[in-house]
Structure formats: structure tokens, C-alpha cells
Amino acid sequence: MPAVQETVDRVKRIDVDQYRYGFETLIESDKAPKGLSEDTVRFISAKKNEPAWMLEWRLEAFRRWLTMTEPTWARVNYPKIDYQDLYYYSAPKPKKQIGSLDEIDPEILKTYEKLGIPLREVEVLEGVVRPEGERRIAVDAVFDSVSVATTFQKELKAAGVIFMPISEAIREHPELVQKYLGTVVPTSDNYFATLNSAVFSDGSFVYVPPGVRCPMELSTYFRINERNTGQFERTLIIADKGAYVSYLEGCTAPQRDENQLHAAVVELVTHDDAEIKYSTVQNWYPGNSEGVGGIYNFVTKRGDCRGNNSKISWTQVETGSAITWKYPSCILRGDNSRGEFYSIAISNGHQQVDSGTKMIHLGKNTTSRIISKGIAAGVSQNTYRGLVTAHRKATGARNFTACDSLLIGDKCGAHTVPYVEAKNSSATFEHEATTSKISEDVLFYCVQRGLSQEEAVGLVVNGFVKDVLQQLPMEFAVEAQKLISISLEGSVG
Amino acid sequence: MALLEVKNLQVRVEEREILHGLSLTVNPGEVHAIMGPNGSGKSTLSHVIAGKPGYEVTGGEILFRGEDLLEMSPDARAAKGVFLAFQYPVEIPGVATMNFLRTALNAQRKARGESEFSTPDFLKKVREVAARLNIPQDMLRRGVNVGFSGGEKKRNEILQMALFEPSLCILDEMDSGLDIDALKVAADGVNALRSPDRAMVVITHYQRLLNYIIPDFVHVISKGRVVKSGGKELALELEASGYARFEDAA
Amino acid sequence: MNVAVAKKETGRALSDSFAIARDRLPGSGKVAEARSAAFAAFDRVGLPNRRIEDWKYTDLRALLREVLPPAPAPDAAALSRAAEAVRLRAIKGVRRLVLVDGVFAAKLSELGGLEKGLAVRTLRDVLEAGDAALQAQLLAPDNSNPMVALNSAMMTDGVVVEIADGVVLKQPLHVVHVASGTAPTARFTRSLLRLGKAAGATLVESYIAADGARAYQVHDSLLVTIGDHSRLDHVRLVEDSDDAANICSVVVTLGARAHLNTFGMASGAAVSRYQATIAFAGEHSRVETNGVNLLNGRQHADTTMVMDHAVPNCASREVFRAVVDDRAHSVFQGRIIVRPHAQKTDAKMMTRALLLSDEAEADNKPELEIFADDVTCGHGATTGALDESLLFYLRARGLSEKEAQALLIQAFVGEAIESIVSDELRELVVAAARRWLEARQ
């Protein structure tokens, strides 16, 4: 039957079809020698013209890292990573000092165009490509180890917002960086975060001053291009008293046979009455249909609601990476502070996802909400791992958690590992989890009404994740929705 | 001696003063209606009389047969004969209605130094009252108010009123959420309990309820105090002209 | 580094007591070899600490500090104190089997007039008499769990009950564990219950202390196999003295169309851990497991359940309730595993904790581990205080604060207790819960 043949063909093409961002950009690059030693750390620091305190900070982290062992508690399996067989620094070789976008290697600009990321703010500003009413987004593009362009700098500056590569911030705003860097995720936090502290090469820095509502959404786009290269970016976002910022992060990588390591650290700080909304669409290369290649994504993301009445909201759509190991968390320190975690994690093929959140209630009347939707297909493993804890002094703490898993096919696994810890009687926690499959009746109903099997699955899945998609800024929601259908292509037949 | 005397009552909730010097006197056998717009303090008054936590009395007093009610715990007030029919009766899963009724009735009797009801006497009494109020037996076996309709919940409140035989009944928005038939059944239940030594305070937003439970006195409250008192005709006047006029007076 | 040192210190004392006890422990040959291997397995880890994921909330190294030396066999005085304790907690209409300080007490037990198809032996007899099949079953538990390994190494006695095919016991079996010796010592017991096909039984287990028993440890384990079409009703009450420790491991395997209904309540012991693995080996079987922790003072009680759906078409229901007062600490860890191909599994788990004091703690870890797609699985967990609006409603109806609390607490644990089918046993549990509530007034 032709329909069956079509499905078979589709499944065969799956890893090609599925990953639209698998092209490679041919440019010259400037690399550190392979391997990791104090010299590598010094090399990176020197490349970035860093002050002495920064080098010292990195070296301390590196020495600490040498004494640590890789964590094994997550439900992910992968061959031992040879940390000496990686490049820790790779930068596109500049033809000369970059002064404007025109001076960026046209190949890189093309790459971002293919990815659909608007770096040409000039055109955007002139209204050529901007339909009326569309929101503007300032973008910081990170290509392998360095930031290649940050748009809308001037306009942001006028509002008092600092948005620049963290490497520049270390030089230009050392007082801010020193005050906040490593205060949410300490250098000794965990194996991957400590490694990041030693070798991070770039990332974004945002500071929104008191009372300022950031005039546009800020965005960073990460791209791993080089072979055998680890990407270790570091993001630090501070919303001062009464400030607000919405920040978007997107990631892609070329299709390669080897596994590439991505170990990022993101730190968020909100002071009194401030709010940060952080959204991620993660679409790193997941490997092919045999489970060869793909990104190892070991990420530490944490927000500190340091001030009273402050709020941090994480929204993530995780469709890529061979392995995902990330737990965007909130420390609810300020009284009445609020943390939110909205997640869609989709695994197909041989992907392994171990993701979730931690809501640590320390302040009084703190609230948190967790909505997690896990979808497993193919032979993938998808784990939600979450901690909700209320300390003795966190009186009136409240949490609501709902984590639902959907299984597509009988060779995948969906797991839920929640830790619910209450240490005072006024804490109120509610947790619920379900695991189910797509109802045959619903599928049949849709198919009978003329939808293809895949469209029917898409429909049901989109319904399943709707609560979370609604949390994303509009532009991202559309992209995420497409991504979800693409990620699940070939999962039914 | 008056049954209930509320004198210059001032009450705060979370820093906001809701009642600013409300006074009310209720004698045995009387039925008082308290009317007022949303947010005027009607429910606050009923909660404070029953002793609900979360209200701070900053001034005034409430005397019940001359005794200071504010000094008593909620259960002591119940034993003294204060009964609040809740606007929204809570659901208590796992506690069978029958068990709840017996526990509460005997706790009140014990507090008054009376003997506890024997099981057969108790069952007889409950069945009798339930039959009068058209409450099916299976409702009594279910958890308190669990899965009850709005009308059933209100009937359950009246069942308790009939069973506990309080001397003061406060009916808080008894008509909310009831259709006209359910309202009639509830009102009939209440009217059957009117007696020379029992007083009732009927709190309502609408005049409608007062067609069925006819009050001796009507008080209009606005912004936390009584702005006008009168006979039952005052309710009709309100129905015609609305609360706006009285709000100006406050 | 410190951990290793700490382990060595307590470990050495225990190694010594194992070396001394070894020759006197029942069983030789394979049994003795298995004991040595099990002790080595325990000794490699020592008492589990919080760094072992399964023991994250119950750090026995901190809570117990050490494994106490084995209790001596009870003397006449100990037996007579035990007899009095048994009398106080006697249940009518049951067949009583009593273990005093880890030794089967024939005099306090009822072995006469065994129903046809019911065989009762002591663990000591089975280990010594060399029934190879039974011995193999008794030595089967997985020694990777250190407390199971310790129990395998040190077990002295217990009851071994076999119920033949087609036999449905009319009389419940009541196994009573009595701590009677006055010195702080440990008891190591293991029991086995084997139900044949189309058989039925009710098993009640009580853990109690005789007058004067103090600061003792109970290390128990229970192995159960339920044959095809058979049913077991199981009720377990931990009412040990408030300075005792009770560590118990249970492994249940169900055949096809089998049914297990189990209920456990811990109101006694300073430290308790009940770890149970329930495995489905045949299709169309069903398990209801219900538990209640009633804790106050500085009690610590941990219930850790693994529900292993290895085959299709089985159903499991877990209901757990914890009431935690003062500075007590309740732990519930529940894992539902649905193995590949275990389609049409229907597994649900609900755990709720009620905190009555600002210093009480409740930790819940309800896990799902699902490898098959055509399943309905779910869990829920809630933690909170008594509902203020319910309390006020009850008080407005004349109940005192304590009475109102007691009524709501009874309703809270009621859902778990209601699952007990036998009226007499349910009343027994309700009475135990009431004793706890009355003690708090």
C-alpha cells in the first residue's frame, strides 16, 4: 500500500528530514589546542583580554573541577567523555576587528539567515521586513565560543539596559559581573558547572536597572559549528528592583557523527518586585536514527528570587540533543516571591532526556508552579526529575505541580521522579502526575474525519502541550509548535 | 434581657476596617433581616458573631444573654446556642454526615452539662427531622456535604439547626445558589423552627428571600454600619429604590 | 573519608559479633556460605547513609548509629513478660504465632489442630533440617540492599508457613514479634508465607514490646509467594516502644489472577523503615496496598514501596497517609515500574501528608518508571495542614479544637483504613489509631 510505503520512506529519511539545521558553515576559525589544562584556561582568558581576577576565578574553578567526578544519578547512558579530546575554544577567524554587522563574515550572516535569526537590525529598523505591530527582538548571536553580533545595542542603552556579550561585560562592567557572577551557581556547584566556570568562552550579559521594563525582548542564539568543540557559554541576567525582562534562547548545531559537548551555565537574579521571564527553545542536533552523533547537553540553569515580591519564570521546549541533563531552578528567597517552570520535553529516536526543576522555598508566602509535559517516542527515554522543598521558615509556601507523560510506541520509556519535601505545617503542596498513551479512539476519530495518522498525532500532542506553549512569547510559540511536529515525524506508522 | 446585643462593633481584616461601629439588638422570638450591598460587611458580622478566625475586633462588644461572646471559643458559642448557617457549607470528605451530627450534638450537650443522646434516640430524632426536610437517608451516610447540590447543602444546614435547637440562628445568604423551588423548601424548614424563644438573623442581598421568611425588623447596612432600620416594608422600599440612596446616607 | 572511618568503627564491632554468632546461627553448608556472603555484602556498605539514593531521607548511620549485638534467647522471666504483652494485644479468633526476642516461642503460640493443608515450621528448623527448595527461597532476597543483606546474614528464627493448593484458611494467622529482653539488643528474624494455587489466607503481624524492653532493634523480613488464583489479606501494626528501631524488608510475588490486599500502620518505634517490593509474575492480578504513619515526638518512619509490573494486565492501587506531629519525620517513597510489554497496566498511587506542627517534616517521592505505552499510570502527592475552614465549621457546630482535629484526622486516615476487608481487623486498626489520637489530647 502506498500509504505504508510513504511512512516507511519517511521513517528512513527521519534524521535528515527532522533536523533542518544540520548544515555546516565553512569558515576559518581560531582554536585553542585540543585538550584541557591550566594552559587552556589561561589561553581562553588571554584571548578575551580578561582582567587578572577573572583568570584567578577560572583557575580556582579548574582546580576544583580536577577533584570532582562526573555525576551518575541521572537516567542517561553515554560512553565516557574524554575531556582531553575536545577543543575548548573556537572562534571564527576575524578578517579584521569587527565594528559593524557588515564586517561580520558573510558566511556567518548567511548561517543566521538560514536559521531565521534576524541580525540585520538596519533592515528591521527601516521597516523593510517588519510588518506593523511585530515586536522587535534584540539578538546576541553566539557562534561556537564567541559572540558575533549583538543588535539594538544603542536603543537598549538609551533605556539603561546593558545587553552585551559577557566577555565584553567582564571588561566594561567588572563591578556588576564581580558582584553577581557565581552567586547563584557557585563555581563548586556541580561537575559541569565547575567545568563551565573554568572554560566558558562567551555568552550574554543583561542588566536591567531599577524600575526599567526592558523595551524589547532579548534573545541569544547559540550555534555550535566547529567539529570536536565543546560549547561552554555563560549567561548572567540581573533584574534590579522593579525591573522586568523577557529573554529568549535558541540553539542549533550542525549534523555530525561525533557527540559534541555543551555545558552551559545560566544565572538569573531578581531583586525586589523584579521579574525575569526566560524562554528556551532547544533544538541541538539529536543524533541520527541509529543514535550516532548529537549534542550532550549538560546545563545548569538557576534563578535566585533574591528580593521580595520577585518572580522568575522558566519556559522550555526541549526537542533536540542526544542527551539532555538540565534542571532550571528557582531559589525563592525573597518573601512573596514566585517561581514558575513550564516545560515541554520531547524525545524521539535514541534521545535521552533527564530534565525538570527545583523549587526551593526559603521565604515566607512564596509560591511556585510546575507544569511539565514529557513526550517519548522511538526508543527514547524521557525522565522528569523535580524537587519541591519548603524550609522551616518558609511559612505559607505553596506549590502546584502537574507532570504528564505521553508515550508514543512501546519501545520508549517515560519516568517521573519527584521529590516533595515539606518542613513546616503551613506549606501546601499538591503534586499530580499521569502517564498515558494517545487514545486509539481519538486517533481513529480524527483519521475517520480525514486527518492523516501523523496529523492526528500532531493534533493530540499539541493539545497535550497547549498549557505550556501558551507561556511562550508569540514568535517562539509558533516556532516551537512547528518544531514539535517535526520532532515527532516518523514516530507513528 | 436581650438575646443578642452588638454594640458599636469595629472589625478589621488585614489592616482594613470592615465594620465601623455596628449596633444591633435582637430579642427572643424576633426575626431580623440584615440587608446590604456586596462588601457592606454582612458576612463579616455573621463570622464575627460565630467566632471565625482572621477577624480583629478593634472596638465594641457582643453580648449574648448578657455574656461576652467575644471571649468564647467558636465551640463554646455553639454550645451556648449560637448557630451559623453558612453561605458556603464546606465539604468534609471521609466524615459521614450521621457521625458528624452525633459527635457535634453530643459535644454541645456535654458542654452544657446535659446527658449524651443514646444511639437509638439520636437516630430516631435525625430520621424524623430528615423526613420533614425531605432529606433522603443515603445523604446522611455520605461525607458531610460531599457531592451535595446547592439545595442539599442548605437543607443539611437546616437539618442541623433543627437538631441542635439553637436559640440564635444566623442565616448567611441562605438564598445564594438556590432556585425558587429549593428556596421554598429551605424557607419552609426555617419557618417551622420559628418559636417564641428562638431568634433569627437573616442576612441577604435580595428582598426575594423575605417573601418566604417574613421578618419583624429590617436593617440596612452599608459601609460597615446600620444606616436604616424599620419594619418588613423597608425591604420592599429597598427593592424599589435600590441601595444607592442608603449608600449616600452612610 | 570520614564515612569510611565511621563505617569501620561500627563495622568492626558488628564483624566481631557476626564472627562470634556465626557458629551458633542455624544452618550449615550452603546456608552458612550464604550467610558469609551476605555479611560481606553488608560490610562493604555498612549502615546505609543519605548518599545512597534509596536512603536519602532515612540515614540509618545517623539514626541508628550502630547495629546492636544479637539478643540472647529469652529466659523464663522474659517469656513471662512477653506472655503478658501478648495477652494485652490478643485478637480473638486468630491462630497466634509468637516470636520473642527473635526466637519462636512454642509455649505462647497455638500450634494445635492445624487445619488440613496448613504447615507451620520455624525458620531454625528449615535452615537446619535441609529442605533445599525452601532454603533456596529463604536465601533468595537481593543482598544489594544492605539491610536485607544484614538480615540474611544474622537471621535466627521466624515462621515458615505453607498453605496447600485449594486451601482457604478460616482463621487468620497472627504473627506477634515481642521484644522482651531488657538490654538494648537486636533481633533478626525472617518469615516465609507460601500460598499454593487457589488458596487464601489472612496474615496479621504485630510488633510490640513487653514491659521493660527498651532501645532495642528489630530487623525483620518477610517473603511471600501468592499462587495463581490465590488471595492474601495482610495487616501489619508497628507498635514498638518509642525508643526502638524497626527495619523490615518484604518481598511479595504474585502469580496469575492473584490478589493481595495489604495494610500497614506505624504508630510506634523511634525509627522505622518498611521496605516492600511487590512483583507481578502472572497476569490479571491485583494489589491494594495502604499505609498510615501516625507520628509524634521525634519519631522517624519511612515506607518505601516498589510496585513491579513485569507482566501485562495487572492493577495496583497504593494509598498512603501520614499524620505528623511535633518534630516527627515521615517518609514515603513509592516507585511504580512498568516493564516493557507489561501493557494494559493500571497503576495508581496517592500519598498525602498532614502536618500538625511547624517542626514536623514529610518527604514524599512518588516515582513512575514506565517502559510500556498502553498503560494508565498516575500518582498524586499532597502536603498540608488541617484545613482551617473545616476546623471552623466543626467548631461552629460545637466541637472543641482537639475533637475537631481528631475527627478530621480520622477522616484523613480513614480512606487507607477502609481498605481492610475484615471488620474485626479494621476495628483493631481503628482502635490503634484512636489510642494514638487519645494520647495526643
pLDDT of residue C1: 34
CB distance from C356 to chain A under 8 Å?
A: yes
Q: CA–CA distance from C246 to each of B145, C265, C438 (Å)?
A: 41, 12, 24
pLDDT at position A251 over 70: no
Strand ranges in chain B using DSSP code E only, listed in sequence order: 4-13, 16-26, 31-35, 56-64, 67-68, 82-85, 92-96, 143-144, 168-172, 199-204, 217-222, 225-230
How far off is chain C from A234, nearest CA to CA, in Å?
30
In a mutagenesis test of the B interface, which of C388, C394, C409 is the best target, namely the one with the most B β-carbons within 10 Å?
C394
3-state secondary structure of C5: helix
Using a CB–CB cutoff of 8 Å, tell me whether B100 touches chain C: yes
CA of B108: which chain C residue's CA is closest?
A: C398
As a whole number, mean pLDDT of residues A312-337 equals 92
pLDDT, residue B185, reads 84
Instruction: Judge: C412–B107 Cβ closer than 8 Å, yes or no.
Output: no
| CB-CB under 8 Å, A432 with C378 | yes
Q: Are B105 and B164 in contact (CB under 8 A)?
A: yes
Rounded average pLDDT over A6-19: 40
Q: Is the pLDDT of residue A463 over 80?
A: no
Arithmetic mean of pLDDT, C276-291 = 97
At C429 the pLDDT is 94
- C395-433 pLDDT per residue, tens: 999 999 988 999 999 999 998 999 999 999 999 999 999
Which of A219-228, A258-267, B105-114, B133-142 is predicted with the least confidence, judged by mean pLDDT? Answer: A219-228
Question: What's the pLDDT at B88?
Answer: 86
Residues paired with A343 in a beta bridge: A316, A372
Q: How far apart are CA C128 and CA C100, in angstroms?
A: 20
User: Rounded to 5 degrees, what are φ and ψ at A180?
Assistant: -115, -30
Q: Is C412 on the interface with A (CB under 8 A)?
A: no
Mutation site, B73, B92, B108, B145, interface C, largest C CB count within 10 A? B92
Stretch C85-113: mean pLDDT? 93
C112 or A86: whose pLDDT is higher? C112
Torsion angle (degrees, nearest 10) of CA A292, A294, A296, A297: -150
Q: What's the mean pLDDT in C186-212?
A: 96
Instruction: Say if residue C44's pLDDT is above 80.
Output: yes
Count Cβ atoms within 10 A of the Cβ of residue B1 and give its class: 0-12 exposed, 13-18 middle, 19 or more buried: exposed
Q: How far apart are CA C70 and CA C187, in angstroms?
A: 6
Q: Is A264 in contact with A299 (CB distance < 8 Å)?
A: yes
DSSP state of A104: S
Least confident of A214-223, A342-351, B58-67: A214-223
> Do the chains contact at C379 and A427, CB–CB below 8 Å?
no
The span from the CA of B157 to the CA of B155, in Å, is 5
Strand partners, C234: C203, C262
Question: Is C393's CB within 8 Å of B77's CB?
Answer: no
Band the pLDDT of A20: cuts 50, 70, 90: low
* CA-based nearest residue in chain C for residue B49: C396
Q: What's the pLDDT tens digit per position in C65-76?
A: 899 989 999 999
Whether A476 shows a pLDDT value over 80: the answer reads no
**Band of residue C3 on the pLDDT scale cut at 50, 70, 90:** very low
Structure confidence at residue A222 as a pLDDT band (50, 70, 90): low
- Short-list A448, A442, A444, CA closest to A462: A442
Arithmetic mean of pLDDT, A137-157: 66
pLDDT tens over chain B, length 250 residues: 899 999 999 999 888 899 999 999 999 999 999 998 888 899 899 999 998 888 999 999 999 999 999 999 888 899 999 999 988 888 887 788 888 888 888 888 888 899 888 888 899 989 988 888 888 888 888 888 888 888 888 888 999 999 999 999 999 998 887 888 888 888 888 899 999 999 999 999 888 889 999 999 999 998 899 999 999 888 888 888 877 777 655 4
Question: Can you give the pLDDT at residue C129?
Answer: 87
Q: Least CB-CB distance to B78: which of C397, C407, C410? A: C397
Distance between CA C397 and CA B100 in Å, rounded? 9
Q: What is the CA radius of gyration of chain C?
A: 21
Identify the pLDDT of residue A401.
Answer: 93
User: What pLDDT sits at residue A261?
Assistant: 82
Looking at residue C348, its pLDDT comes to 94
Residues of A with CB under 8 A from a CB of C: 73, 392, 395, 405, 407-437
* Per-residue confidence (pLDDT) for residue C330, from 0 to 100: 96
Mutation to test the A interface, candidates C53, C338, C370, C386, most A Cβ within 10 Å: C370
Tell me whether C307 touches chain A (CB under 8 Å): no
Q: Decide if pLDDT at C271 tops 60.
A: yes
**Distances from the Cα of A143 to the Cα of B113, C51, C155, angstroms:** 84, 40, 64
pLDDT tens digits along C152-178: 999 999 999 999 999 999 999 999 999
Indicate the pLDDT class of residue A140, thresholds 50, 70 and 90: low
Check residue A159 and give its pLDDT.
87
Task: Looking at the complex, report in whole angstroms how far the Cα of residue C151 sits from the nearest Cα belonging to chain B.
Answer: 40
For cell 562470634, the residue is: C20
Q: Which residue has the cell 500460598?
A: C195
Chains B+A touching (3+ CB pairs under 8 Å)? no
Min Cα–Cα distance to chain C from A386, Å: 10
Q: Residue C397 is nearest to which of B52, B53, B160, comparing CB atoms?
A: B160
CA-based nearest residue to C253, from C226, C235, C275, C273: C226
Q: Mark whether C and B touch (3+ CB pairs within 8 Å).
A: yes
Q: Is B52 near chain C, with CB under 8 Å? A: yes
User: What integer pLDDT is reported at residue C420 of this predicted model?
Assistant: 94
Contact assessment for residue C410 and residue C437, using Cβ atoms and an 8 Å cutoff: yes
Residue A424 and residue C358: Cβ atoms within 8 Å? yes
pLDDT tens column, C313-360: 999 999 999 999 999 999 999 999 999 999 999 999 999 999 999 899
Average pLDDT over residues C26-45: 91
**Can you tell me the distance from the alpha carbon of C354 to that of B94, in angstroms, rounded to the nearest whole number?**
15
Please provide the size of chain A in residues. Answer: 493
pLDDT of residue A480: 75
Range from A35-49, A175-189, C86-100 carrying the lowest mean pLDDT: A35-49
Query: To the nearest whole percent, how much of chain A has pLDDT over 70?
Result: 74
| Best residue in C373, C376, C405 for a mutation probing chain A (most A CBs within 10 Å) | C373
Confidence of residue A128 (pLDDT cuts 50, 70, 90): very low
How much is the pLDDT for C216? 96
Least confident of C180-184, C259-263, C301-305: C180-184
What's the confidence (pLDDT) of residue A252? 58
Query: Is C385's Cβ below 8 Å from some Cβ in A?
Result: yes
Closest CA to C32 of C23, C41, C20, C43: C23
